[in-house]
Amino acid sequence: MKSDVIVVGAGLAGLSAARDLAAGGATVTVLEARDRVGGRVEQVELPDGRRVQLGGEVVGNAHTSYLGLVAELGLTLVPSYVAEPGEITRQVPESVDVGTWPSWFTDSDIASYESVEAALEKVVASIEPTDPFGHPDLHRLDQLSFGDFLREAGATAAVLRAFDLVHLSLSDGSIERQSTFAYARKQAVGGGTAAYDVAEWENQRVAEGSATVALTMAAGLSDVRLASPVSRIAIASTGCAVTTRAGEEIRADAVVLAVPCGPARDMEIIGVSDERLTSLRRQRHAWAAKFVAAYDRPFWRDNGQNALSESEGVIGSTWPQQEGVLSALVPPERYAAFVASDPDTRHREALEQLAGLYGDRALTPMQTWTRLWGTDPWTQGYVTNWRPGDVEGVGPLHGTHEPPFYVCGSDQWVAGYMEGAVRTGRAAARAVLKQAALTGEVS
């Protein structure tokens, strides 16, 4: 059997690539390891019709590829949890407090926070996201952990603790294990000016459910094969061969690899340069889990809380994903403690932590779900973690193609997210079609 293009992985990236390839006249086969499409977007439906998201949910103003795709698919964008009334809650061992500033901040900590933000603003403004390697201070800023940057900028202990808490809540790696350059580049590409701003990055969601974006794309494709994990990719200009774990070999003129970096490392890939493969395999993920609890109503509002929280507990953050549904993330720094517990204990402790945040009403959800994304073999993570030295370690070949071998996926964009998946998926399709037009392979 032969296709023009094989796409490996049916997440948002692979499906976006396949959709555009098919629209461009290519015969496309999508091979997906799981028995469902969507990858890191996944949803379940409650009996009352609410669609509950177990993976990616929200997007921001700069996520133009994703927003454009949603419009093309005829789906609807609505305000996300950012519009939820009430105030943020912070949970640390010595207190649970509600309000804009952490309770442990003094006036001089607020001044320190503002001066650190000003220092960060300068770094963000100095970065051209598409040309990281042209930055005169790349090496120093990439080697420098974000924690050390904050210390150099004069952050007080209270300010460091507040930033650490934000990063536990984001679950993309502690401030001590993040490259300052990568962090600042993410803000630059996302339209931010200094520290991560949820109002900019997370203010919208798809009303029909974010996984509906993937399901809608898959419904328009004619050859998506589920339960077909790929174990080997052989690339040659005379024709490529992709082999599934079951031993089936499928041939094509080009291959688009659309899997996260962990599963990509598990594949045998031949016919691609060592440099390209080394760069691909050098990336790493932050491991996180998602815990979701559905209630009949948003009871947190009774106490003036908006269900957005940052915590030093096993759960690092919560937010309201929709009416009455709480999402929570377990950050990399707590993942081992969470996974090492038996499921009943894990469940009970997660609800107890929610009760510590929002009161005993949190102990009796209608239903809960736990997704251990970090140890899921087909994800092996959550989002890319750019540790100190990783921007230079992955190097300028990041996200690049070596025709007829193409890559896409949120790992292949500087900032991850569903935007990264759609943006790189569509770009990979354009690159394949351009190359095919040159060689006359696709009419």
Ligand X SMILES: Cc1cc2nc3c(=O)[nH]c(=O)nc-3n(C[C@H](O)[C@H](O)[C@H](O)COP(=O)(O)OP(=O)(O)OC[C@H]3O[C@@H](n4cnc5c(N)ncnc54)[C@H](O)[C@@H]3O)c2cc1C
Q: Which stretch binds ligand X (CB under 6 A): 54-62, 102-110, 172-180, 356-364?
A: 54-62
- Side chain identity at residue 134, one-letter code: G
Q: Measure the CA angle with vertex 282, ends 276 and 288; round to 5°.
A: 135
Q: Which two tokens stand for residue 232?
A: 């080997």
CA distance 373 to 339: 11
Site for ligand X in 393-432 (CB under 6 A): 409-410, 416-421
Query: What's the residue count for the chain?
Result: 443
CA distance 376 to 192: 32
Minimum CB distance to ligand X smaller for 14 or for 102: 14
Asked if residue 330 binds ligand X (CB under 6 A), the reply is no
Q: Where are the alpha helices (DSSP H) in 306-416?
A: 332-339, 343-358, 390-394
- Side chain identity at residue 223, one-letter code: D
28 within 8 A of 21, measured Cβ to Cβ: yes
16 within 8 A of 217, measured Cβ to Cβ: yes
Asked if residue 259 binds ligand X (CB under 6 A), the reply is yes
Minimum CB distance to ligand X smaller for 286 or for 442: 286
Binding map of ligand X across residues 347-386, x = CB under 6 A, - = no contact: --------------------------x----xx--xx---
Minimum CB distance to ligand X smaller for 116 or for 257: 257
Site for ligand X in 19-38 (CB under 6 A): 31-34
Asked if residue 184 binds ligand X (CB under 6 A), the reply is no
Kindly tell me which residue out of 147, 209, 263, 320 binds ligand X, with binding defined by CB under 6 A.
263
Asked if residue 58 binds ligand X (CB under 6 A), the reply is yes
CA distance 160 to 154: 10
Q: Which two tokens stand for residue 265?
A: 């490392």
Minimum CB distance to ligand X smaller for 260 or for 320: 260
Distance between terminal CA atoms of the chain?
20
Binding map of ligand X across residues 188-227, x = CB under 6 A, - = no contact: ----------------------------------------
Question: Which residues lie near ligand X (CB under 6 A)?
Answer: 8-14, 31-34, 39-41, 55-59, 229-230, 258-260, 263, 267, 290, 373, 378-379, 382-383, 409-410, 416-421
